[in-house]
Amino acid sequence: MCAVQLTVIGRFTCREDERPLLLAPRAERLMAFLSLARRSVRREELTAALWGDHREDRAAGNLRSTLWRLRRVAEQPLAEAADGYVSIAPHVRIDLWDLEAGPATDAEHRLLAGDLLPGWDDPWVDSERERFRQLRLHALEDLCATHRRSGRFADALRLGLVAVACDPLRETAQREVIEVHLDEGNVVEALRQYDGYRRLLHSELDLAPSPALRRVIDEHLDGVVDDPSFRRAVPSVTRAARGHAG
């Protein structure tokens, strides 16, 4: 049986043994809905979600024709229908399901691929995006910390900066990037990252970084900021490290 890989993180794709499968838009939306549902779905739920603006008989016809096409686009059917329910065929692998199942060799590739089905404006996609965003952020931070502890600073920084780009106000993501710089010995880079976050937090929310984040700076610097030669060399970031907010 040929292996089929379905991608919903980033651009929707479907491949059979690395060969792209060209799915019609209706088939793409049906497979995407089943992927995000993570379960067998009643026919009535599918027609309401995908063709809710159609008459009931027309919506049911759309579902039947779409399932017919999904049985023929690949060597094996991509979806199964039985007893009033529709599900993804067991031989189809889905990147989102693999990521949720735990770490894998290509987890970083999936995490860096981007948002969940960007550009899709269906309500059933919107409801899943925040769930995926949180999953992605936690996974990025965890992998960043793992690489940092192993001394793979370039990989750690790449993942940490992606997490920061996803949510610049998220302190745990900013902290991971700061700790990468500090562990690598790049004190000035760490202070610049801290100062940028401090300014953003003050500008957007009129808040200051937490005492816990400030302690990360203090513990790693161990008095280096108070060294006169350091203050003369990098006055702006020195002021950032010595100040709490504002």
Q: Quick: pLDDT tens for 81-140.
A: 999 999 999 999 999 998 888 755 566 777 887 899 999 999 999 989 999 999 999 999
Task: Give this prediction's pTM.
Answer: 0.79
Instruction: Dig out the tokens for 39 from the structure.
Output: 């379960």
Task: Give the chain's residues under pLDDT 70.
Answer: 1-2, 103-107, 222-246
Q: Provide the pLDDT for residue 54.
A: 81
Residue 12's CB is within 10 A of a number of other CB atoms, namely 19
How far apart are the C-alpha atoms of 16 and 76, rounded to whole Å? 10
How far apart are the C-alpha atoms of 162 and 243, rounded to whole Å? 27
Q: Please give the domain boundaries of the chain with CATH numbers for all domains.
A: 4-97 (1.10.10.10), 138-242 (1.25.40.10)
- Please provide residue 182's backbone torsions phi and psi, each rounded to the nearest 5 degrees: -65, -45
Q: Provide the pLDDT for residue 1.
A: 58
How far apart are the C-alpha atoms of 205 and 202, rounded to whole Å? 6
How far apart are the C-alpha atoms of 102 and 192, rounded to whole Å? 34
Task: Please classify residue 47 by burial: count the beta carbons closer than 10 Å to its beta carbon, then call 0-12 exposed, 13-18 middle and 19+ buried.
Answer: buried
Q: Provide the pLDDT for residue 228.
A: 58
Sole residue written with tokens 């801290």: 194
Q: Provide the pLDDT for residue 57.
A: 87
Instruction: Dig out the tokens for 155 from the structure.
Output: 């990989």
Contact predicate 8/94, CB 8 Å: yes
For 112, what's the count of Cα atoms within 13 Å in the CB-facing half-sphere?
Answer: 13
Q: What is the 8-class DSSP label of residue 117?
A: S
Task: Please classify residue 140 by burial: count the beta carbons closer than 10 Å to its beta carbon, then call 0-12 exposed, 13-18 middle and 19+ buried.
Answer: buried
Q: Provide the pLDDT for residue 242.
A: 56
- The overall longest dimension of the chain from CA atoms, in Å, is 80
Contact predicate 138/130, CB 8 Å: no
Contact predicate 224/187, CB 8 Å: yes
